[in-house]
Amino acid sequence: MTRQRDYEGEHLPVSMDMGTRVDAGENACTRASQCAGNDVNVYAHEHVHANEHTFAPAQKTQKCVVLGVSACVAIYKACELIRQLQKRSFDVRVVMTEHATHFIDPTLFRALTKHPVAVGLFDKPSDPIHHISLARMADVFVIAPATMNVIAKLAAGIADDILTTSVLATSAPLIIAPAANSVMYEAPASKENRRKLAARGVRFVEADAGELACGEVGKGRMAEPASIVEAVCLCFDDAHHANALQGVDASAQLAGSVDASSQLTRQRVASKARKELSGKRVLITAGPTHEYIDPVRFIGNPSSGKMGFCLAQAACRLGARVELVSGPTNLSAPEGVQLIRVTSAQEMFKAVQERFSSCDVALFSAAVSDFRPLECADHKLKKANNYNSLTHIDLVENPDILQQMGAAKTHQIVVGFAAETSNVIPYAREKLVAKHADMIVANKVSATQGFACDTSQATLVLPQECIELPEMPKIQLAGEIFHVLVKRLLSFA
């Protein structure tokens, strides 16, 4: 009988530099470092057999994450995902499809988790219904990477292997991190399958855009482990999650240059700061502004609004009442956030003026156009008949929203953003003073970094210090910004 393959697109059943298949009996420590690309703590020279299943329940003091792994080149990221989950004191159990074992031997995951790895429905484990046991022990069920084949099965309710039967049997929240060739990822059937699952309450950590293993460039790269960990953390009630985080190094603090491996997660900030931000009003601006020349042309910039929307999401989950004033974007309002959509700088200024006096914290992450045309034509200007009008446009200055709100503040904490191509910190220090801000989030932009990206590297510039952060997902950066606000600036910290 021919097996149906579940590796696809980005998923090639070949040997690769970043992820050599790990065979039982080989040194798991050596292979782990090849797959994860960094120092993964495993037990060297420990020879274990992945098919010797004894599925003991997770410790009661720990939350259990069951990680489903399907056949995909991105499987090497699962090693780092396990490591990051363990650093946050989660107990991790791994379930693999049989095709996934063509990429990594289950021995590696057993060495990383110190638990047996479930692969086959009929492995004759000590627990004859181990898919039910796995389903019951899961506090959160994660599939990363998830192929389009596995997603299609789940959308159709098919349960024909250990992974899909465990998912169908669990009542735990389900998080899926897809990975595929860009054409497969955007295929109508794939989109419909994701839509069906999302409608049932499945949470997706969407794939990133970039270069894929097949050589194409597009959307389909599995999200980075930090983004998936963020999604896992958000599944837990803050009070319970605070207990799960007691094992995290409490001495890890934001000061000077911060090592990403010791970074407090945004969710740890949430567990500590929720009572302080509960009932507080946070005002955020996001996205670009469009200053129209005529109905089809405008002056603008490539801001995607992602940073502002991440800030709104983080603030809302910290207990704040959030108002988000956004320029033109394709983003949906985060749950619980009041979204006010505007187009021009003048519209944004008016919306901010109406709300600023009642807010406690204002974060101005929008990329506001400095100038607008003196006049906007009410019809399209034809190039042949309006050459001078299109090549010589009279401009007037837009209101400086950050500067005016900074000067008008009474009790508010004001945070500005500075995107620079050079001299990032000196310019940010100047802006801190000139705009009457309490903090400037400064980052360098280039063709490959900054606008429209899902990650960012930033420096938080305050009057007495600079806090340099490593590159991280913008949702995580949003949490770090609020952590500093609570610890350094807010009077009730």
- 64, 214, 310, 453: the active-site residue: 214
Domain 28-233 has CATH 3.40.50.2300: no
Q: Does domain 251-489 have CATH number 3.40.50.10300?
A: yes
Model pTM? 0.52
Residue 414: both structure tokens together: 């004001």
Q: For residue 459, which phi and psi values (nearest 5 degrees)?
A: -120, 130
Q: Give the start-end residues of each E strand in 43-169.
A: 64-69, 91-96, 140-146
- pLDDT tens, residue order, the chain (493 aa): 333 333 333 333 333 333 333 333 333 333 333 333 333 333 333 333 334 444 555 555 678 999 999 988 889 999 999 999 998 889 999 999 999 999 999 999 999 999 989 898 776 555 556 667 788 888 999 999 999 999 999 999 999 999 999 999 998 999 999 988 888 888 899 989 988 888 788 888 888 877 776 667 777 888 889 889 888 887 764 334 333 333 333 333 333 333 333 334 444 444 443 445 777 899 999 999 999 999 999 999 989 999 999 999 889 888 899 999 999 998 888 888 999 999 999 999 999 999 999 999 999 999 999 999 998 988 888 887 777 778 888 999 999 999 999 999 999 999 999 998 888 999 999 999 999 999 999 998 866 666 777 788 899 999 989 998 887 888 888 988 998 888 777 754 3
Residue 301: exposed, middle, or buried by beta-carbon count in 10 A (0-12, 13-18, 19+)? Answer: middle
Asked whether 380 and 295 are in contact (CB, 8 A), the reply is yes
Residue 104: name the closest of 19, 9, 174 by CA: 19
Bridge partners, residue 420, by sequence:
444
Element of type H or E holding 173: none
Report the DSSP pairing between strands 64-69 and 140-146.
parallel
User: What whole-number distance in Å separates Cα of residue 317 and Cα of residue 326?
Assistant: 19
Q: Write the single-letter amino acid at 381.
A: L
**Domains 28-233 and 251-489 equal at CATH topology level:** yes
Q: Is 214 a catalytic residue?
A: yes
Q: Are 66 and 93 in contact (CB under 8 A)?
A: yes
Question: 118 is written with which tokens?
Answer: 């479930």
Nearest to 96 by CA among 108, 85, 106: 106
Q: Name the residue ranges covered by the structural domains of the chain.
A: 28-233, 251-489
Q: In 10 A of CB 247, how many CB atoms?
A: 14
Written as six digits, the tokens of 351 are 């919306």
